[in-house]
Amino acid sequence: MVLLHSFTGSSRDMRLLANDLNAAGYAVQAPIFSGHADKTPLGPLSFGPDRWLAETQAAVRAMRREYGRVVTFGLSMGGNFALRALETMAGVVAGGAFATPLVDGSPHFARTVHRYMDYIVRESDQQADFGAAQGAIEHQRAALRHLAHLTIAAAPSVHVPVLLAQGGQDTVITPQTALRSLALFRGAPASLAWYPEANHILTADPHSQAQLSRDVLAFLARL
């Protein structure tokens, strides 16, 4: 299993799910994307999707060398990389995405970045120039949308099992976008797990975390 975290998140996003998968006998790798571990205000803006896709591919190749077959899942932005690996890499036999802004993007992307920067500034002695960061935020948004468009274009050609998950109370993306994403995978055995009371971080939200783990394990048992 390769588990991929969200934008401005870390592998902690996936810790509870990883623990449940480990307990069920699955090997898990949860890499941290470049720029997300250094705790600087502009960290996630200092790299981009090309770098993170390469890191995803490296994790998949490492797991494939060890185990032969790989399943990729990701939260929010990480779901885009998980699906892209599923579409393009040999040995990925299934996968999916949790609360991933695939079709409609994230209408609050800039707000997410600003909140991250605020948090880092509060927790450290560092300073951040929010005005100067605006150009980098827009560039990052465009780069992530480009990757999403590649994923969307390839989705109809996917024939391996896909699991999408979405919270009904998501305040980061529009919850109904998950239905549009599901429709893209018309050539695959694709399903949607819906958590009506959950917000965005499905892997930690008390309204979804335990059930999500059960749903993922049930999905894996069918492979």
Q: Identify the CA nearest to 190 among candidates 151, 145, 154, 158.
A: 158
pLDDT tens for 47-60 read 999 999 999 999 99
Is 76 considered catalytic here? yes
The one catalytic residue among 5, 20, 36, 170? 170
Residue 84's CATH number: 3.40.50.1820
Is 124 considered catalytic here? no
User: Distance (Å, rounded) from C-alpha 83 to C-alpha 2?
Assistant: 11
The residue with tokens 């009371």 is 197
Task: Show Cβ contacts of residue 56 under 8 Å, excluding neighbours closer than 6 positions.
Answer: 2, 4, 31, 72, 81, 82, 84, 85
pLDDT tens for 178-205 read 999 999 999 999 999 999 999 999 999 9
Number of domains in the chain: 1
Question: Domain of 202?
Answer: 2-221
pLDDT tens for 120-155 read 777 777 776 667 678 888 888 899 999 999 999 999
Q: Identify the CA nearest to 84 among candidates 141, 167, 73.
A: 73
Residue 194: strand pairing partners:
166
Is 200 considered catalytic here? yes
Sequence ranges of the binding site for substrate? 7, 77
The one catalytic residue among 76, 181, 208, 213? 76
Is 105 in contact with 76 (CB distance < 8 Å)?
no
Give me the pLDDT at residue 122, please.
76
Give me the pLDDT at residue 38, please.
75
The one catalytic residue among 6, 20, 106, 200? 200
* Per-residue confidence band for 77, with pLDDT thresholds at 50, 70 and 90: very high
